[in-house]
Structure 1
Amino acid sequence: MTTLSPASPSATGSRFVVGIDLGTTNCALAFIDTQTSPETVQILSTPQLVAPGVIEKRETLPSFHYEFAAGEVAAADLKLPWSQPPGDRPQLSAVGVLAREQGGLNPQRLISSAKSWLCHHAVDRTAAILPWQGDDDLHKLSPVAASSRYLEHYRLAWETQWPYNPLADQQIVITLPASFDEIARELTIKAAREAGLPRVTFIEEPQAAFYAWIERHRADWESRVQPGQKILVIDVGGGTTDFTLIRVQKRTDGLCEFHRVAVGQHLILGGDNLDLALAHFVEQKYNLEDKLSHREFSSLIRKCRVLKETLLGPNPPESAKVILAGSGSKLLSSSRQYEVTREEIQNCLVDGFFPVCELKDRPASHPIGFREFGLAYAPDAAITRYLAQFLEQHRATLSELEQRANATQPQQNSVSADPACPDLILFNGGVFESTVLKDRVLHTLRHWFCQDSSGSQATEKIQELDHGRLDLAVARGAAYFGMVKRGLGVKIVAGLARSYYLQLGGKTNEALCVLPAGIEPGAEVDLQDQRFWLLLSQPVEFPLWCSSTRLTDRAGTLIPIDREQLTPLPPIRTVLKSRRETEASRIPAQLSARLTELGTLDLSCRECDGTRSWNLAVDVRSATHTDLAAHQGQGEQAGVFEDQLQQQAMKLIENTFRPADEPLLPRELMPRLSEALAAPRDSWSPVLLRSLWTTLMDVAAQRSRSAAHEARWLNLVGFCLRPGYGVAIDDWRVAETWKTISGKLTHADPQVRAEVLVLWRRISGGLNAGIQQAIAAPYISLVKTALKRGLDHRKSANKSGPTSHELSEMMRMFGAFEELSKATRSELASLAEFSLQQKNSPITMDAAIWSLGRFGQRTPVYGSLNHVLSPERVESMLAALMTCGGPIGLVGLSLAQIARRTHDRFRDLPQSLREEVVQWLNQHPETEDLAKLVLEGGEFTQESAGQLLGDQLPPGLSLMS
């Protein structure tokens, strides 16, 4: 659990303790009034619009936001019992029941599953991107802003009922999935702040559900459990699946207490996926593929939710129908109805998402389900296979914990002989409103652990715990946890859910455990038995890893880095400075680590033989955009060159740009480098390239000696730093390059101007959106002017204007700038299309073709999915490419980029259009291999990836897509 800020006296002593379930599909608020006796958990019935002009109080607030179109509803019909808060927001909008119902009629104006978007790594989660692919006239919101709207609704509703006890002054606990990463937690804090709630505490949802069970059975919970038992909490909500293991242990005073020992990986897999799968089933059953519009399919998903609840609910009928309304003047006559039987639901949803698999089975690592709406759904739909993996991953941990407990206090072994077998199970989440699905999970667990020699199951084992209403349990448990924070009630001992590690420098492939799992917030670990060399006055990186499976490692344990067990985190990158004028490049130091009350990791480096220290905090904000900052170590793994060879190469660079005994001409540098390194330039490793970049930056001032020197320097800097990521502290290198070059070219030579364009294209993957926009803006007007004037543009312009080569490089640079806004990229794509259609275009055909492939690509190389152009927008680009008469291989590559299948309905082109592209590709032998990408999806070959980038990637690096 984490807190936004240390609990203040006003918060801990507030009259009310509030628990908020910020759910994917529904929210709920529970509270305890400490001035009443007995102190009981109550649910806030929240006023909300259920129809235009109709306000009702409901126990849950559906997590939906809808913006009405002009004329769709009168503003007076959207008034709530409180005044609308000020700010930049649409006036004709609603959250809750009305938003959900209205969104069923017009889903392209509806925001749903904002919570899932908060943990989506492939988009900018702080950007206004929702509704995903919504109507053009919408006032879009970021996932953070949408989440904030639900919290704000609760704050305003609360303050209407208790105006003298503002919600911000109460003790507030918000629930999050146990598997939410640090970034998603930070974004939820930001949403709370924006809603006017500056102080909140987080609790994991499975824990909150278990607290709800304790609260429900506060009088007799000890008689329902016994020491050594393991409790599995399985939480499948609207958007996520979470597993948590809790162990019952006996304290020294003889009482029982609960220890949370493990949490599962983050899975975007829940009720939304069931609805989506059922919609796909209906679509395939009635042969509706490519017949339903995006709007109709979205409406079908909403209706399939009701269909699912009907056929998986109590006393289900043999079949049920879903009616899909048409559009236009013949709305009623064009309505269509589709029937689904109970048996089909069993096959599609029960067997599809909860198959009776074996304990040794593992989920697929590559996507086999649907990739709709841009969300990064879990690769495998089978929740039971993920459960099998979770229990097997923690078998060793559970076994070790049992041995430790039995050594100190005998008779604490699990009731089950198998350490991976849970004794009790607590279901949570809206999916388990269906007893059919609960029974399937229980049946599967008993199939794994409770069969006798005859194969029959012992049904008395693995019993279910009951915590009351599933839709309110998490909020109730959060409120109860607030009282536990005050020292009242039964506490779950739940420290850090993961172990954290620091990768050691040099060539080692080992990591040191700096924070062990189970540690409590505020605790500090002092690794005084180990000493390290600390580098000063130069950029350094501290690579961090975490593990949710290695839960028994102790602080100071050194382990090999295993990608199966460790997950990389955004590293700490900095320069450790000292005030001393003469400072050694490294000093001996010791390390300490602390888990803050905020849930962040603080590292402190302390000089061994002195008083100096440096404090470091893990910066999760740097990864808010797309997690590109999480260094994977690809570049370093590609190998290094001998130091002597590197020194020779660096000396050649210095001899080119600084006066020396053996000066080199700029045109001689590249051949001499290849000769000195005894390797062609395409085989130079990323580590070597970055070393050469350092030397180039040392001689940056000398590039002004001549236009040829400046052109060669720019060319080599871009070559050494391409593609702008892949090696430690590349973000710092790119920033330094930007500061060194931006607006500071010395020579106005056309070759110099062209080389700086090539440089920006080469390192575009490391340039943020602001820098890309700043670079592109002045060039866009030049390209527009040149295209209007045609090939002879310089006859009526200043003779020092851009050449055709420069204009072509501008267009290539635009294509590589994937962080430009969607509107800007669409405009630039139009310029490229126009260039192809002009016989006298000043932009070469190859540049226009290449850039169109990057503008229209379905999967970005490094950019955010929210910048991908719509299928409707790229259709004209395909036509322009297929009729341009350009080089077959280059045209085919661009066509494949634009038409490549992603299995995301909003990104994929219509089947008919993709088949048209496949037909074109199959007509040319050199592009036939690209047809599979268009029909089935997949990844480009390394050779094609180089063409796609416009440069061969350095060895060991691969595209991010």
Structure 2
Amino acid sequence: MNETHCLGIDLGTSNSALTLASLDERVLSVLPVTQAFGPHSVGEQAGLPSALYLPNEGEFEDDAFSVPGLDSTKPGFVGRFAREHGAQSPDRLVTSAKSWLCHGQIDHRQPILPWGSISVPTEQKVSPLTATQRYLEVLKASVAPLESTQVVLTVPASFDEAARQLTLEAAQAAGLGDVILMEEPQAAFYAWLEKMGGDWRSHVKPGDLVLVCDVGGGTSDFSLIAVSDSGGELQLERVSVGEHILLGGDNLDLALAFALRAQIEAEGASIDDWQFLALIHSARVGKEQLFSDLSLPEVPIAVPSRGSSLFAGTVSTTLGRDLLEQIALQGFLPLTAPSDMPQTKAAGGLKEFGLDYAADPVLSKHLARFLKRSLDNVRSSETLSAQLSAEALSGELLAPSAVLFNGGFFNADPARARVLELLRSWSSAEVRELAGSDYALAVAQGACYYGLSKLSGKGVRIKAGASRSYYLGLETTMMAIPGFKPPVKGICVVPQGMEEGTEAVLGDQEFGLVLGQEVSFRFFSSTARAGDAVGTVLPNAEKELEETAAVQTVLEPVEGLTAGEAIPVKLHSCVTEVGALELWMQHTRSDARWKLEFSVRTE
């Protein structure tokens, strides 16, 4: 099929968006998303709140939320009214499905959302996979038929392989076909390239290190892109990605609501739990007003009641600029030292199970941790170190020379100014902003721009490859010792940056492969060991690496080989054009070989 259009989809934790362009015109158009504005009310707006509301039986008429192009028999409704109405009944509202996709301790196909709800029976709940599919179905219904359209769908750079595969599965179930996955910070950078046009080269220079700082409603995502010279041409390479951090603008809204409730109580009034939910919404609106109009000293905050009269029991207060900046800047973005790292969770024996929210709300510390880990990663590789200036490598943290902001959190000028001030305090180097992007829509726009470049074969490309190094777990062969468990070694099979369509052979090393019975292959990864080459062996994978996946399988023996016997094999790894890791195990005494496979790629 010859694609003539590209659709960029930003599948956000809090909000999603669509951008479409044709190869002929190459003009990026943000598409309005058709969704429920209320019972029997359908409208369009730029963006889709990533929220699914599951009504109580009899709460609405059966056909109250019929949206063109969607299956009206599926329970619940998605979008603006789902979020607004769900604020009053949060135990029936599904949010953060994207974050649940990367939760490693749940079955993502089981109906568990809304999490912890006792008002929604289990048979009426949905899985994180189903919720993601529902959001994508609404987005797809707002687009013309996709027969000739390349779809690029964004995910956090920090998503692991399981979460990426689940996202692909949801996209296919929603009818989007074979989509390309792209890291969100890279998409934001592509959007900036599109805005700058041919002039982008005048804004960066060889040796520059660009921090993409993406803070949305529910998550924070960091990446670093290095600028180097290659034969007189500027080259871009993604050199580091951060962890998946559940911390964002929603945390700020909640903090403001708590402060405003204390303010209301100090004024002699009080609010109940339902009114507090409305206060969170009002705090968000007030925050956006103050940050968008810096001349306003304060904005009114009104919290309604559920009385019969519109104004019965209404509680009023104000959100002042001083309070907003105290919480936003001093609470979330204080000027911390480069050695200040995020607090870790207390090692309690029993805790409430749920999303792994960040224990420390200070974004400054999370950014410092990312830059510290990135410095360790770059220093481990001579190739990466050679691309950066001595100034970038000389401090306690890797020092970016430019910042590209993304996410609704940075619609606020003071928030961007504080991050720049923070980075300058950590380094003697000047740090500048790469301005010009739309913080709310850049990811969808960048995904679309990349898709057009891929279809046409023209345009700037960011060199990326595998975002981390991958390792296969090896059982240690040693004599049994009471009370001692032999460590699991890790052998590098894919080094960080290994590109699609390339392969590697692990030298002359031989390993024992067990055939004819169920065995488990454990895969590990690291974002801080760029210097490890194929064949590098680490003595304790469980201590030094992050476990990524486990594959249970039975490898059938061929003629002449005995089941249960460990036979000598050599390893051969390949990252295919579609981003799958193929690990081949070649018998050294015959032509027999076996294959393991899983995905390691995001564009």
Is 2:7–2:150's contact at 8 Å kept on the other side of the alignment? yes
Number of the residue aligned with 2:440? 471
Number of the residue aligned with 2:81? 98
SS in 2 for 1:443: helix
Distance 1:439 1:101, change over 3 A: same
Number of the residue aligned with 2:483? none
Q: Distance in 1 between matches of 2:271 and 2:560?
A: 71
The counterpart of 1:42, out of the listed 12, 21, 29, is 29
Shift of 1:414: 5.8
- String of CA shifts for 1:321-343, please: whole Å, max 9, x gaps: 43333335466423333444322
Number of the residue aligned with 1:144? 129
Q: Distance in 1 between matches of 2:591 and 2:542?
A: 37
Is 1:262–1:551's contact at 8 Å kept on the other side of the alignment? no
Distance 1:543 1:336, change over 3 A: same
- String of CA shifts for 1:568-589, please: whole Å, max 9, x gaps: 1232333433144663822221
Number of the residue aligned with 2:71? 85
Is 1:109–1:134's contact at 8 Å kept on the other side of the alignment? no
The counterpart of 2:140, out of the listed 126, 134, 155, is 155
Shift of 1:530: 1.4
SS in 1 for 2:507: strand
Number of the residue aligned with 1:276? 254
Number of the residue aligned with 2:161? 182
Q: Distance in 2 between matches of 1:366 and 1:286?
A: 31
Distance 1:367 1:220, change over 3 A: farther
Shift of 1:483: 2.0
Letter aligned with residue 137 of structure 2: E
SS in 2 for 1:528: coil
1:398 aligns with 2:378: yes
SS in 1 for 2:204: coil
Shift of 1:476: 0.6
Shift of 1:135: 3.6
| Count, aligned residues | 579
Larger CA Rg, structure 1 vs 2: 1
Number of the residue aligned with 2:466? 496
Letter aligned with residue 116 of structure 1: S
Number of the residue aligned with 1:28? 17
Q: Distance in 2 between matches of 1:193 and 1:350?
A: 42
Is 2:584–2:596's contact at 8 Å kept on the other side of the alignment? yes
1:119 aligns with 2:131: no
Is 2:382–2:531's contact at 8 Å kept on the other side of the alignment? no
SS in 2 for 1:427: strand
Q: Distance in 2 between matches of 1:579 and 1:60?
A: 55
SS in 1 for 2:465: coil
Distance 1:292 1:514, change over 3 A: farther
Shift of 1:175: 0.6
Q: Distance in 1 between matches of 2:295 and 2:102?
A: 35
Is 1:19–1:482's contact at 8 Å kept on the other side of the alignment? yes
- String of CA shifts for 1:187-228, please: whole Å, max 9, x gaps: 211221221112101000000000001111122111211111
Shift of 1:72: 5.2
- After TM superposition, the structure 1 stretch with the greater mean CA deviation from structure 2, 99-108 or 148-157, is 99-108
Q: Distance in 1 between matches of 2:385 and 2:55?
A: 59
Is 1:510–1:558's contact at 8 Å kept on the other side of the alignment? yes
Number of the residue aligned with 2:46? 59
Q: Distance in 1 between matches of 2:577 and 2:561?
A: 38
If the length of structure 2 is used for normalisation, what is the TM-score?
A: 0.88
1:738-817 equivalences in 2 (<5 Å): none
- After TM superposition, the structure 1 stretch with the greater mean CA deviation from structure 2, 64-73 or 437-446, is 64-73
Provide structure 1 residue ranges, at least 5 long, that are not aligned to the other structure. Answer: 1-9, 160-165, 451-457, 621-961
Higher share of residues assigned helix: 1
SS in 1 for 2:143: helix
The counterpart of 2:216, out of the listed 228, 232, 237, is 237
SS in 1 for 2:243: coil
Letter aligned with residue 153 of structure 2: I
Is 1:178–1:263's contact at 8 Å kept on the other side of the alignment? yes
- String of CA shifts for 1:37-79, please: whole Å, max 9, x gaps: xx22121123333344444432222222234456655566634
Q: Distance in 2 between matches of 1:332 and 1:541?
A: 64
Is 1:168–1:197's contact at 8 Å kept on the other side of the alignment? no
If the length of structure 1 is used for normalisation, what is the TM-score?
A: 0.56
Q: Distance in 2 between matches of 1:538 and 1:258?
A: 47
Is 1:534–1:586's contact at 8 Å kept on the other side of the alignment? yes
Distance 1:613 1:432, change over 3 A: same
- After TM superposition, the structure 1 stretch with the greater mean CA deviation from structure 2, 488-497 or 327-336, is 327-336
Number of the residue aligned with 1:614? 594
Q: Percent identity?
A: 38
Shift of 1:609: 1.7
Ranked by relative contact order (alpha carbons within 8 Å, sequence separation 6 or more), the top structure is 2
- After TM superposition, the structure 1 stretch with the greater mean CA deviation from structure 2, 582-591 or 178-187, is 582-591
The counterpart of 1:366, out of the listed 345, 351, 368, is 345
Shift of 1:388: 0.7
Letter aligned with residue 178 of structure 2: R
SS in 1 for 2:496: coil
Higher share of residues assigned strand: 2
1:634-783 equivalences in 2 (<5 Å): none
Q: Distance in 2 between matches of 1:538 and 1:112?
A: 42
Q: Distance in 1 between matches of 2:158 and 2:304?
A: 39
Number of the residue aligned with 1:605? 585
Distance 1:387 1:526, change over 3 A: same
Distance 1:102 1:402, change over 3 A: same
Q: Distance in 2 between matches of 1:463 and 1:563?
A: 40
Q: Distance in 2 between matches of 1:404 and 1:472?
A: 31
Is 2:380–2:530's contact at 8 Å kept on the other side of the alignment? no
- After TM superposition, the structure 1 stretch with the greater mean CA deviation from structure 2, 481-490 or 324-333, is 324-333
SS in 2 for 1:363: coil
- String of CA shifts for 1:629-673, please: whole Å, max 9, x gaps: xxxxxxxxxxxxxxxxxxxxxxxxxxxxxxxxxxxxxxxxxxxxx
The counterpart of 2:171, out of the listed 175, 192, 200, is 192
Number of the residue aligned with 1:480? 449
- String of CA shifts for 1:747-775, please: whole Å, max 9, x gaps: xxxxxxxxxxxxxxxxxxxxxxxxxxxxx
Shift of 1:277: 2.4
Shift of 1:445: 0.4
Shift of 1:294: 5.4
Letter aligned with residue 18 of structure 1: L
Q: Distance in 2 between matches of 1:207 and 1:395?
A: 20
SS in 1 for 2:283: helix
Number of the residue aligned with 1:571? 550
SS in 1 for 2:292: coil
SS in 2 for 1:28: strand
Distance 1:292 1:120, change over 3 A: farther
Shift of 1:95: 2.4
Is 1:175–1:478's contact at 8 Å kept on the other side of the alignment? yes
Q: Distance in 1 between matches of 2:552 and 2:271?
A: 49
1:934-953 equivalences in 2 (<5 Å): none
1:593 aligns with 2:601: no
Distance 1:588 1:70, change over 3 A: closer
Distance 1:362 1:333, change over 3 A: same
Shift of 1:386: 1.2
Distance 1:286 1:183, change over 3 A: farther
Q: Distance in 2 between matches of 1:443 and 1:211?
A: 25
Shift of 1:434: 0.9
Number of the residue aligned with 1:306? 285
- After TM superposition, the structure 1 stretch with the greater mean CA deviation from structure 2, 494-503 or 571-580, is 571-580
Q: Distance in 1 between matches of 2:27 and 2:229?
A: 27
Q: Distance in 2 between matches of 1:614 and 1:398?
A: 35
1:386 aligns with 2:362: no
